[in-house]
Amino acid sequence: MANLALRSLVQTYGKVTVLHGIDLEIEDGEFVVLVGPSGCGKSTTLRLIAGLEEATSGFIEIGGRVVNNLEPKERDIAMVFQNYAIYPHMTVRKNIGFGLRSSPLSRPEKDKRIEDVAALLDMTDLLGRKPSQLSGGQRQRVAIGRAMVRDPAVFLFDEPLSNLDAQLRTQMRLEIKKLHQRVGTTIVFVTHDQVEAMTMADRIVIMKDGFIQQVGTPSEVYHRPANTFVATFIGAPAMNMVTGAVADGGVRLDTGQQVPIGAELDDGRRVILGVRPDDLHLDSGAPVLSGSVTVREPLGPETLIYVHVEGAGEITAKADGRLPPDVGQVVHLGARPEDMHLFDAESGEAL
């Protein structure tokens, strides 16, 4: 295992800058997820760590040594790709063992390591099968096993669950999390799916346009987002955003509602009030927003309701799944002051 550090990492392609001086410290044994929309630079960052691309400037350190000039095989890392990239003509045993082809270990030592990894991944009974005889999840475990058998200092995962169906993705998320808890190896995991990030990570690195927007635990980025991008990217459905201005120690929303959230800011300053759908409650004694229900989405124990609010557009809230309001019904939504978020209207930064 090893710690990993990125220092002022820049990557350009011609006149296009993909990474703008990334700085990141990952502790030994930590599970860190890089998440963001397409084109944010997360996969480029992973490829630079792996040595598949050469950084324009900046440094990459693994285990305290700068690895910029080292070949991928010299960096003591193993990478699992979105595409399983396993050999169809080889058995599971040979596919897993392929990661040891250049190892100085003896044949008995290699066999033992293959057996140990197969047992860890619950694949002992599958060692004699070909990939065509495996399910999608089993093939992904073979790819993970081929990386694990090398016993690397750092695991790199590049959207490894993207090709799986929804149920299998949920299962594999749990398996990878359990695997990390057992082996404790440093993991850097790239995904565009914020649910994967929230459920798997010790810390999440949220990226946009080649910049890191926030680094924190799942709880920190959800409950204390650094800016409006993080607030709307993390959480499904996204945080509701309503513009307004500071007035009389609170915020007067563009809807006309005065929200007494104790803002210690200059009157007249333009702000954005953010409230997550989970924190908006129907028929509150202190309504923040009022409007008519336009759409309902039943989810079993709860129902998502979309409410048209004059001056704010469409607002999302959650209602009891047993007695949701009807489409067209006027509802009043309220939230506790401690559940509201304030952002600067110009910069988007949290206040």
Average pLDDT over residues 3-29: 96
| b/e sequence 246-271, b meaning 16+ C-beta within 10 Å | bbeebbbbebebebebebeeeeebeb
Distance CA 140, CA 138 (A): 5
pLDDT at 320 over 70: yes
- Coil/strand/helix, residue 170: helix
pLDDT classification of 284: cutoffs 50, 70, 90: low
pLDDT at 119 over 80: yes
Nearest to residue 231, comparing CAs of 273, 182, 201, 265?
Answer: 273
pLDDT classification of 3: cutoffs 50, 70, 90: very high
Per-residue model confidence (pLDDT) at position 263: 65
pLDDT above 70: percentage of residues in the chain? 98
Q: What is the 3-state secondary structure (H, E, C) of 92-134?
A: HHHHHHHHHCCCCCCHHHHHHHHHHHHHHCCCHHHCCCCHHHC
- Counting every residue written for the chain, the total comes to 351
Bridge pairing between strands 270-275 and 240-247 = antiparallel
Contact 173, 161 (CB under 8 A): yes
Distance CA 246, CA 189 (A): 41
Average pLDDT of the chain is 91
Distance CA 257, CA 275 (A): 14
Q: Give whichever of 13-17, 106-110, 143-147 has the largest mean pLDDT.
A: 13-17
By mean pLDDT, which of 24-38, 142-156, 217-231 is the weakest? Answer: 142-156
Tokens in use for 239? Answer: 């945080």
Per-residue model confidence (pLDDT) at position 285: 66
Per-residue model confidence (pLDDT) at position 114: 92
The whole-angstrom distance between residue 40's C-alpha and the CA centroid of its chain comes to: 13
Distance CA 182, CA 145 (A): 14
Distance CA 245, CA 350 (A): 15
Contacts of 213 (CB under 8 A, 6+ apart): 36, 206, 207, 226, 227, 229, 230
Bridge partner list, 203: 32
Predicted confidence (pLDDT) per residue in 264-276, tens digit:
788 899 999 999 9
Domains, the chain:
4-226 (3.40.50.300), 240-344 (2.40.50.140)
Predicted confidence (pLDDT) per residue in 179-228, tens digit:
888 888 999 999 999 999 999 999 999 999 999 999 999 999 999 999 99
Per-residue model confidence (pLDDT) at position 216: 98
pLDDT at 150 over 90: no
Q: What phi-psi label fits residue 96: left (phi over 0), alpha (psi between -120 and 50 degrees) or beta?
A: alpha
Distance CA 3, CA 1 (A): 7
Average pLDDT over residues 90-119: 89
pLDDT classification of 260: cutoffs 50, 70, 90: confident
